[in-house]
Structure 1
Amino acid sequence: MIIELHLLQSFPVSNLNRDDVGQPKTATFGGHVRGRISSQSLKRAARVLFQKDGLERYGLDPAEIGTRTKRLVSAAAGILRDKNGRPEVEAAGVAEAGIRALGFGLDERRKDQRLTQYLLFVGSTAAALLADYCERDWDRLAADAAARAKAAGRKKATDGEENDEAEKKQSKVKPDKQTVDEARRILDAGRVVDVALFGRMIADNKDFNVDAASQVAHAISTHAVANEYDYYTAVDDLQPEDQSGADMIGTVDFNAACYYRYANLDLDQLAKNLKGDTDLISRATQAWLNVFIDAIPSGKQNSMAALTPPESLLAVVRDRGAWNLANAFLRPVDEANLMVASTRAMFGHFGRLRDFYGDADLRAVAAASVTADVDGLPEREVVATRDDMVSRVLAATKA
């Protein structure tokens, strides 16, 4: 079973998701330049909401929300130091030896920070579990840490190519089955909702990968856009009155656009990821629905405050298949009232697909708009409020 969420959201002056030169991201679609917000940006905005309001607003316990970090070693070392009373330097060395023993490398370019080689998406208890593993196997890991420190000292003294190659070979170890089981326990995400939703990929430790239950499209503007820029100046408040001129001059890029957003949730994959826990699956589904309605990227919000909610919403529950409705805007909307015209285009395209492909796979449809009339859908499928929409979707998943 799959839930689809289609949203139309108009942002005023904004730069929610910028590229490498600071401009709002764009994409060419239907032969025209469109505003774009990447799927990564939208998923991060969703994860931040889980972390910020998970328990209070979305019904999730903090232990059910994950963390994406390269600093698992330092977090575990802090626990060994603060809670277990281990000396700081030893705790850091043993925590590093522990993560290496589990089969994970460290970023050799930033050795002083003891960062893992890549970001790890883990549950909130991972650092404590790693610290527990290090404490239980302290003597062996301490010996490994001392041997590595000694080898590093020899390398520094000789600075030879052979030692460089030896260090690379030492950077990762292949753990035995018992240690793999320990790593699996530390990285277990069976009760971590955002890992279950958005997945986890560890390139050289595929046993710990999690297939995402949710797919998120890049949001694109329903119309053509042209990025603009704001020229600004700043004046020193204590500047003498007999002096003039700005003390800072610069530009900030922005655009203004109405975006089509699409995401779906595969409930069968979610159930697999959360090990069939029906209560957690239900809360995760409700949280996903609400958080994707609420999620807004944080880019340049302090200076632009583009905090506008979606105005037209369509939710679909289906037994199989999926329809991204972006092609409703293959020809860019060019009417003055972008939201009304975009709403008409989205619902119209959905209706045409429904007529052509049939609706045998559709369990429920719920549509609403703050701004425009919902044309082309049966009256029974139009809801009055966001809460009505969420309730109807959740009821359909249990039918």
Structure 2
Amino acid sequence: MIIELHLLQSFPTSNLNRDDVGQPKTVTFGGVTRGRISSQCLKRSARTQFTRFGLGEDETGVRTKRLLLATARILDGRTEGEPAAETKEIVREGLRRLGFKVAEKDLTQYLFFLGREAAEHLADYCRRHRDALEKAAAARRDEEKKKRKGSKEKDSSPDAAAVEEARRILSAGRAADIALFGRMIANNRDFNVDAASQVAHAISTHAVATEFDYYTAVDDLKAAEADEDAGADMIGTVDFNAACYYRYANVDLGQLERNLDIRADDDDVVERAAKAWIKAFAVATPSGKQNSMAAHTRPEALLAVVRDHGAWNLANAFLKPVEGTDIMGESTERMLAHFSDLNAFYGSGEIKAVVGASPTGALPLDGADSVASLDAFTDRTVAAALEKR
């Protein structure tokens, strides 16, 4: 069963997701420039909210290149600071044996998406094989002394036992965010996780122009200096826009269940993960430039669709950009009308439930189950999805 989430959210002056030159991200759609917030930004913003909505810390993952340092600290019995050089060498050798390269500054080659227990599992592996790892590290040091400076280390494939150890260390069976958003490790597809959730880039429903805020900063102690002028000591510009965004995401509950470690018939981790996913996407706001713009808004229109298969992104409702002053009202009408048109043309047999909500009143959509709060919206949607599985 698939849950689709369609949101309309308006942001005032903001620069929530910047490009490489500091401007708000954009895309050309329908022949005009639109504001854009990347799917990666939206997923990150949502992922940090999961523990607010029913998931435990141990049911979420961490994204890091610092697995070596975290593991070495565990072996040294510390929570911060620099681990002993000998300990880092043992962990580095352990990672090599498991098939993972370590780059500069003791960072892993890849930005791993790991379960919370990964460092503990790797530390346990290093303890159990400490003698062998110490000997291998010593042999590697002797070999490196004989090599010409700058020679490259030869790649070696881990044996079957090491692959199983790596699989245990990288296990993400209870990490709901890894189950939802997936994981890719380029040189070993056995450790990849197919994402249960797809997230679209948010785009503005109307044409957007980037604007510029010219600012100055004054030295508070400058006035006391007789030889100084009254001008500012710092000037600059900040890019911003203001836009109403259409946001779309979906989650396949079947894939989510396959990704998660279901431990008993009454294990409710899939239900809790689905509810956390809906609520987190509804309330999460990207953090870009928030200290200077405070663009903390909430969606004005929320539409959930439960279906057996397939997926409908409703962005084409805005292929012709919305114009006028009632941007949110017109955008809502366009989104609901486009959904109704698709339903009428392609048939609604695969659709099992439609739930709508808005802080300003019921969504005007025939056949939708209208609710009056985010909690009710979430509960009604997930219940419909689980009932139809």
Same fold (TM over 0.5): yes
Q: How does the TM-score come out when normalised to structure 2?
A: 0.94
The 8 Å contact of residues 340 and 372 in structure 1, kept in 2 or not, is answered as no
1:350 aligns to 2:350 (yes or no):
no
Partner of 1:273 in structure 2?
259
**Amino acid aligned to 1:310:** P
Unaligned 5+ segments in structure 1 are: none
The 8 Å contact of residues 303 and 355 in structure 2, kept in 1 or not, is answered as yes
Partner of 1:384 in structure 2?
372
- The counterpart of 2:321, out of the listed 310, 315, 332, is 332
TM-aligned CA deviation for residue 373 of structure 1: 6.0
1:246 aligns to 2:232 (yes or no):
yes
Q: How does the TM-score come out when normalised to structure 1?
A: 0.92
TM-aligned CA deviation for residue 294 of structure 1: 1.2
After TM superposition, the structure 1 = structure 2 runs for residues 68-217 of structure 1, keeping only pairs within 5 Å, are 68-82=63-77, 88-107=84-103, 110=104, 113-155=105-147, 158-159=148-149, 164-165=151-152, 167=153, 169=154, 172-217=155-200
Distance 1:373 1:276 in 2: 37
SS in 1 for 2:254: helix
Distance 1:117 1:83 in 2: 24
**Amino acid aligned to 1:149:** R
**Amino acid aligned to 1:388:** A
TM-aligned CA deviation for residue 376 of structure 1: 3.6
SS in 2 for 1:392: helix
TM-aligned CA deviation for residue 369 of structure 1: 2.2
Partner of 2:285 in structure 1?
296
1:305 aligns to 2:294 (yes or no):
yes
1:286 aligns to 2:275 (yes or no):
yes
Deviations, residues 280-336 of structure 1 (Å, cap 9, x unaligned) = 111111111111111111111111111101110100111111100000000000020
The 8 Å contact of residues 348 and 375 in structure 1, kept in 2 or not, is answered as no
After TM superposition, the structure 1 = structure 2 runs for residues 357-368 of structure 1, keeping only pairs within 5 Å, are 357-368=346-357
Moved over 4 A (4+): none
**Amino acid aligned to 2:89:** G
**Amino acid aligned to 2:71:** A
Distance 1:366 1:294 in 2: 18
Partner of 1:223 in structure 2?
206
Instruction: Give the share of equivalent positions with the same residue, in percent.
Output: 60
**Amino acid aligned to 1:394:** V
**Amino acid aligned to 1:115:** L
Distance 1:19 1:152 in 2: 42
TM-aligned CA deviation for residue 145 of structure 1: 1.8
TM-aligned CA deviation for residue 276 of structure 1: 3.8
Task: Name the Cα RMSD after superposition.
Answer: 1.7
Partner of 1:42 in structure 2?
42
1:264 aligns to 2:250 (yes or no):
yes
Deviations, residues 237-290 of structure 1 (Å, cap 9, x unaligned) = 111344221111111100000000000000010010014454111111111111
TM-aligned CA deviation for residue 105 of structure 1: 0.8
- The counterpart of 1:398, out of the listed 377, 386, 389, is 386
**Amino acid aligned to 1:200:** R
The 8 Å contact of residues 319 and 361 in structure 1, kept in 2 or not, is answered as yes
**Amino acid aligned to 1:49:** Q
Partner of 2:31 in structure 1?
31
CA gap 1:36/1:140 in 2 versus in 1, 3 angstroms: same
CA gap 1:358/1:124 in 2 versus in 1, 3 angstroms: same
1:234 aligns to 2:185 (yes or no):
no
The 8 Å contact of residues 362 and 372 in structure 2, kept in 1 or not, is answered as no
Unaligned 5+ segments in structure 2 are: none
TM-aligned CA deviation for residue 35 of structure 1: 0.2
More divergent stretch after superposition (244-253 vs 219-228): 244-253
**Amino acid aligned to 2:90:** V
Distance 1:76 1:388 in 2: 43
1:317 aligns to 2:303 (yes or no):
no
The 8 Å contact of residues 343 and 372 in structure 1, kept in 2 or not, is answered as no
SS in 2 for 1:253: strand
Distance 1:151 1:337 in 2: 72
Distance 2:297 2:250 in 1: 22
Distance 1:395 1:49 in 2: 21
Distance 1:122 1:307 in 2: 30
